[in-house]
Structure formats: structure tokens, C-alpha cells
Structure 1
Amino acid sequence: MISTGTNAALAGRPEGLEQLRSLLDTALCALGDAALKRNGPVAPGGPEAAVAAVREVLGSGRFLADEPSAQRVQALFEAYATWSVDLTHPSAVARMQCAPTAASAAAELLAATLNQSLHAWESGPFALELERRLIQEMASWIGFDAQADGTLTPGGSISNLMGLLFSRDRALKDTGEVSATGLAGRPVRPRILCSEAAHFSVARAAGFLGLGRSAVMKVPVDDRGRMLAAEARRIVEGFDADEVPVAVVATAGTTDHGSFDPLPELADLAAEYGIWLHVDAAYGIGALFSPRLAPLLDGLDRADSIAFDLHKFGWTPASSSVIVVRDRKHMECLDEQAVYLNPSDDETFGFTSLLGTSLQTTRRSDAFKMAATLLTVGREGMGDWVDTCHELARYAASRIAATDGLELVAEPLLTTVIFRCTAEDGTTAADESAFNAALRRKLMTDGRALLARTKIAGPDGTPRVHLKLVFLNPTTTEADVDALLTDVTAMARELGRQETAER
């Protein structure tokens, strides 16, 4: 039974734990029922049905109602489970969004119940020390030594922001302490280099940091979206005297091709000119777990900072993002002494906090669920799962290449596959793009498959909408892939017939 109003209990109390057991049964039943009813990766009906589902839960009332309702709470659980994407379904291949392990989901529940924070020792002593230990081990994965440090963040975008914050302060220190005095009046033009395929968060971070989006210089890429190191060098060598290179941002695992920028060459360039090298490995970090794919990350140990997510390719719930820095001295710009949180005498006696490692004050214990997955799956298991997803992508690519009406862009480097449904001769690029976009929406609306989309230049150089599959579920089988592609081609034929009939 769900207790409401003044009978609602705090989760950690004995009476709260009893209510939690009951609520957990309700939640698990909702999950089981939704899986039986859904019959696909998402409930059918599209946006209108999702809006209607929320409206049905609320009825004519409000969230903060005068009369709390146990029935509405149960309805909320059921609707949330029904209208959530089933990331374990083999046709849920739209996003870099993995299904978490059962151990990490249980850890998430325990973390939420205890609600620890990392801004003061007394807010979460075990959670605080657990994160310290996890960061140390993650730094060792990369090849960093004991001088390394880092923190967990809400996502890869914030990790990239922090990497560029450290690089900004280092690059501009000769003209004054940026974090203390700001950017106004400095006689320099900051520059950040990243590829044309880099994540949008790089430019956004430049804006947040006062450098301006115009400080970001996009380096040309090859046909797989990899930065051309020679072009990056040409740009750096052509800088005027007042142009200051703040950072080279390399991508390890681009969002479309899953490509890896040439890290050794970019590390050479950064070292030669004294430029900070930040690597956005939010997706590509998965390769590190696989002995077969790890060479894709050669040169990663030469970076100054690295961002990566285990909620993309690490089977933990979001958010599970990390920023690791080669030398902790570059995190000093985050140092903050708050007399009510980390007084110096407490710090001296070991009652330390993590306030000086993060942009946040109150912060979740995300290391707990990450540790649960790592301890459960292990190094070999993580590598096996990564390899399985890679092989699934390769299999899907081979099936697409062999299927009439489908065109593969390139062999997958990691676990993403880009393709398109081809149109009849004489069809314009715009019409073909509209067809692929409509196909994707129809598959989602019917609840049959969740695919991503992007734009890739076609044979004539015109950007066209392409479809993208992202394999992060190691329980998917080749038969599941066949069924998914059968659905895609069948829906393409159905839409094609409709378009012909409407002409």
C-alpha cells in the first residue's frame, strides 16, 4: 500500500523501509506489466499518445494537489514504466544510452534512499572516499600516475566544459589569473581547435567560459569524420601573435561514425606548441575495455584531460560521467574554502570534502552505481560486452550492404552503423531525405523501432538524411538484427506504396 499525506514516511526510517518495500513491489510490477504490454522498444502512438498519458495520470488535478492520492502515485509508476524506452529491447538502437546492470540499478536505489552528498565529509564519508578511490583507478586505466585527479560530473558536456576551464586558465595565466580577474581587457584572442565532427558541447563550453563560440576553430575531417592532423598543424602555425591556442580538443568516438581522431599526431602537435590536449572520449572509452579495440585509443595517455561516460558504454545509469586530469594542480581554480563546509582545521584532521574538485556543491554519489557494475561484470566481462556490441555492428553493416534498397555508408569502427534507404532513380536529395526522416518517425510512432538520424553527404556531395543504429546491448542477437532490418525495409516499402498512391 502507498501511504500519502502525513502518513508518508521518510525512506531511511524503519517505517519508511516498510513503505519502500511495498513501493518497490509496485514499481517492479509496473515494469513487468509494461514489458508485456509494450511489445516493442516504446509504446505505440507517438508524441500525442505520450502527452495523453501524462494528462491521464494528472486528470484535472495538479502535482501539488490539496488531496494527495495513492492511486495517482501508482498510476504515475505504471505510466512511467509504460512510456519509458525499453533499452533492453534489441530494436532500441537510437542513442548512446545503455541499459544498466541490475547491480547498478540496485545501487541507485540505495543511493537515493540514503541521499549522500560529496560536498562535506559529514554528508557522505563512504561515498566521498569511494569516489576518490574510483577516480584513482580510472586514471590508472588511462596510464596517468599518482599526480592525476578528477571528478564525476552530470554528463559529458559538463566534463568537456571542465576540461576547457582548466585549459583556459593554464593558457591565459601569463596575462593574469582568469578565475580571479576575468577576461576583460586581455590583449589576446583565445583559440580552441576541434574537428568539424566534434560534439556541440565544445562550442557551447567556449561560450560559457567567456571565450566566445567564435574562438572555436573547426578543423577539416576525412570521410570518416576524423580530424586531419596536418590541417590542425597548418592552423596553429598560421596564428597571429595575439592568437593564443587554449586547447586542442580531440574526439575519441564521434557521435556519427564512432571515429577516433589521430591522438598520437595531435599529442605531438600539442606538446610542440605547449597546448592543452583535451580528449572527448565520452563514447569511445568503451574501446579501452577491449584488448582488440584498445589500440584505437593509442596516445590517450598523453592527454592533459579526458572526458568519458560509463552511462554510454559502461552499463550504468545516467549520470555516470567523468573528467580526469593528468595533474591535479590544474584543478586549483576550483579550490574553495567555505567555513561551514570544509574548514581548514577539519581538513587537517582528515575530515576532507570534494568541494574543490567539482563545479557542483551538493552532488550525488554516482561512483556507487559505477562501482557496482565494475565489480559485478569485471574487466574481462566488460571487454566481452564491448566486443559483442562491436560484432553486432559489423554484422548489421554486412546485412545492410547485402540488402536491396539499403545503402551502407562505411564499415563501423566501434558500434554505430550509418545507412539510408535509397530512392528511385530521379528522386531528389531533398525527397530522399524526407523519405528517410518519415520512415524513422513511422517506426517510432508504431513502437516498432527506435533509430537515430544524421546528415551525411551523398554521392553528389549534397547532405542527405541518413539513419543510424547504435549497438550497446550485448544481449542482442544476429537474429534480432535481422528482424530489425526486416522491419525497416518492410516499412520503407509500405511508405513507398503510400507515396506512389498519393501522387
Structure 2
Amino acid sequence: RDSLQVVCGAAAHHSVRRAAWLLGLPEPFAVPGTGGGLDPAALDGALTELPGPHLVVATAGTTDTGQVDPLADLADLCAHHRAQLHVDAAYGGGLIFSDRHRALVDGLDRADSVSLDLHKMGWQPVAAGLFAVADRERLAPLALTADYLNAPDDTGAGLPDLLGRSLRTTRRPDILKVAVTLAALGREGLARLVDDSVNTARSFADRVAAHPRMELWDRPALTTVLFRPIGADDGQIAAIRRTLLTEGRCVLGRARADGRLWLKATLLNPHTTPEDLDRLIDLVEGSTPR
């Protein structure tokens, strides 16, 4: 049988390539497209030309820009080509809590599998990730038996089956923290946090766009804003970020888009104030070489 061919966008998370390597699969094929997203027309061509079987990895919230692939269109293509669809919703999956922004991930429910990283738009510990499948039978390979861990008479008596719950048998029970958060805040409470964070990012983008000495890359899709001082070169952008980081004044990421280096503000604190946003711009401007 031919090896499974993973197909993804150019902006797919680095873990896609790492996972393929760990599993002994061929190098994932990165579909070329504007902005690194997974373009449906380009994907159609790739699935037509590449030998299968295929696993398409779409992204709901890229690391650099927060871009969300057109999930519904990609699901249609995967159904047509009989390809499996996995959605990396590590960043953008939290949008499902929000009635106002859930449409950005339309089609997520049509994926064969979805990964969620709730330490982002879920406000959980770093390890609180989830892997969800549409068909529970896909998890059958986890149904192993080791007599010292999950003997049938023990599980029948109600003891937990650790082997069937995680790839890491001794993983911390972070799902308890997710459950407590859902119980305490509910979907409405989490939706408010999501909506506040998205609104904060849009407000920050407005401030950058209106500032005479700052440049905005684009309107934010989620909560990530790329910006840079006008006239600064890439070396200066990198130096600004390192200076602010090492001096303990603020933590900004970095991303390359349209061939240039940008400062990246990922705004996920729902308590961020307008004054905080103005202060961030002031810090960047104050660290910009004259």
C-alpha cells in the first residue's frame, strides 16, 4: 500500500511536519497559496496530481497571522477526493464558544479529526490540549490492555482505564481544569472572553492604523496583530523585540509576512485596557532607533 500523503498549507504549524517524521510518513506537501493559507483551487490540483491516500491538514488560526482556512470548501474537496480532513484548531477552536464569531470556523464539524489547544482561546494550562474525532471507532487502537494498569475486572469494577484516555498514560489530568472552567463560566462566560479578546485585537489594530509612525499589516482575523514602525528595517524590528523582552517591559512575537519582519501582538488577556494598548505602542515607538 502507498504511504499516506499529508497535504497542508504553507503556513501550517511546524508540528505537522514533525508528526509526519515521527510516524515515518513522507514529507508533507505544502500547497502554494497567497498568505500561506490552504487555497481550495490549489488543494484540488494537489489532490488530483499527488498519489494517495491523502490526509489534508487545514488550519483554523495560523501561528503568525491567525488566518483561518475556508474549512467548509476544504471539506467539500476532501469529500470529492475521498481524502481525510484534519483541522488544526489549536488557536481558533475557541471561536466555537462565541455566537458572534463562530461563523469564522464554519465547516469545523465536518472534519474527521480536530485538535484544540485550550491554553489559547480557552484560558487553560499549556498542556490542556484535546484531540477529537468524528467517529469514535478511530480511537480503537488505544484500547490496549496491560494487566497492571487496566485489567478487565478492574475496569469493570469502575477503575479508570488510563491506557484508553491519552497517548501519554501518566499525563496530568488537565481535563479536570477544562471541566471546572466550563462548569464555572459556561459557554456564555467563555464566549464573553473570546469576544472581548477579539474586540481588543481590533481596537489595537485601529490604534496602529491611526498612528502616524506605525504600520499595520492587515486587519486581525483572530487576536493576533502584526505591526511595525514605519521606516524600520528587519534588523531594527528584531532588535526592538529583543530590547523590550530583555528589559522586561513587554513580550512581543515576531512573524514574517509579505517578505518583511513584523512585531506580533497576540492579545488574549480579556482584562487588557485601552491604556494598555496605547502604552504598548508607546513602548515600541520609544525603542525605535531614530
Regarding TM over 0.5, the answer is: yes
In structure 2, the residue matched to 1:440 is 241
In structure 1, the residue matched to 2:285 is 489
In structure 1, the residue matched to 2:44 is 233
Say which one has the larger Rg. Answer: 1
Kindly indicate whether the alpha-carbon contact (under 8 Å) linking 1:197 and 1:221 is maintained by their aligned counterparts in 2.
no
Query: Structure 2 CA distance, aligned partners of 1:352 and 1:211?
Result: 33
Query: Structure 1 CA distance, aligned partners of 2:169 and 2:38?
Result: 36
Question: Is 2:153 the counterpart of 1:345?
Answer: yes
Query: Structure 1 CA distance, aligned partners of 2:165 and 2:249?
Result: 44
How do 1:213-228 residues align onto structure 2 when only pairs under 5 Å count?
A: 214=27, 216-223=28-35, 225-228=36-39
Q: Amino acid of the residue matched to residue 395 of structure 1?
A: S
Kindly indicate whether the alpha-carbon contact (under 8 Å) linking 1:283 and 1:309 is maintained by their aligned counterparts in 2.
yes
Q: CA deviation at 1:356?
A: 2.3
Identity of aligned residues (%): 45
Q: How many residues align?
A: 290
Q: Amino acid of the residue matched to residue 195 of structure 1?
A: G
Deviations 1:276-326 (A, max 9, x none): 110000010121111111001111111111000111111122211000111
In structure 2, the residue matched to 1:315 is 123
Q: CA deviation at 1:352?
A: 4.5
Q: Amino acid of the residue matched to residue 205 of structure 1?
A: A
In structure 2, the residue matched to 1:371 is 179
> Residue 119 of structure 2 aligns to a residue in which SS?
helix
Structure 1 alignment gaps of length 5 or more: 1-174, 176-187, 425-431, 458-462, 497-503
Kindly indicate whether the alpha-carbon contact (under 8 Å) linking 1:258 and 1:412 is maintained by their aligned counterparts in 2.
yes
Q: Amino acid of the residue matched to residue 246 of structure 2?
A: T
Query: Structure 2 CA distance, aligned partners of 1:349 and 1:368?
Result: 22
Q: Amino acid of the residue matched to residue 48 of structure 2?
A: E
Q: CA deviation at 1:478?
A: 1.1
Query: Structure 1 CA distance, aligned partners of 2:266 and 2:25?
Result: 34
Structure 2 alignment gaps of length 5 or more: none
Q: CA deviation at 1:357?
A: 3.6
In structure 2, the residue matched to 1:112 is none
Q: Amino acid of the residue matched to residue 218 of structure 1?
A: A
Which aligned segments of 4 or more residues in structure 1 are displaced greater than 4 angstroms? none
How do 1:412-451 residues align onto structure 2 when only pairs under 5 Å count?
A: 412-423=220-231, 432-451=233-252
TM score, norm. by length of structure 2: 0.95
Query: Structure 1 CA distance, aligned partners of 2:53 and 2:218?
Result: 34
TM score, norm. by length of structure 1: 0.56
In structure 2, the residue matched to 1:478 is 274
Alignment match of 2:14 (pick from 200, 204, 207) = 200
Q: Amino acid of the residue matched to residue 189 of structure 2?
A: G
What is the RMSD computed on CA atoms of the aligned residues?
1.5
Query: Structure 1 CA distance, aligned partners of 2:54 and 2:142?
Result: 18
Could you tell which deviates more after superposition, 228-237 or 343-352?
Answer: 343-352
In structure 1, the residue matched to 2:208 is 400
Deviations 1:372-397 (A, max 9, x none): 22222222121111111111111111
Alignment match of 2:81 (pick from 273, 290, 308) = 273
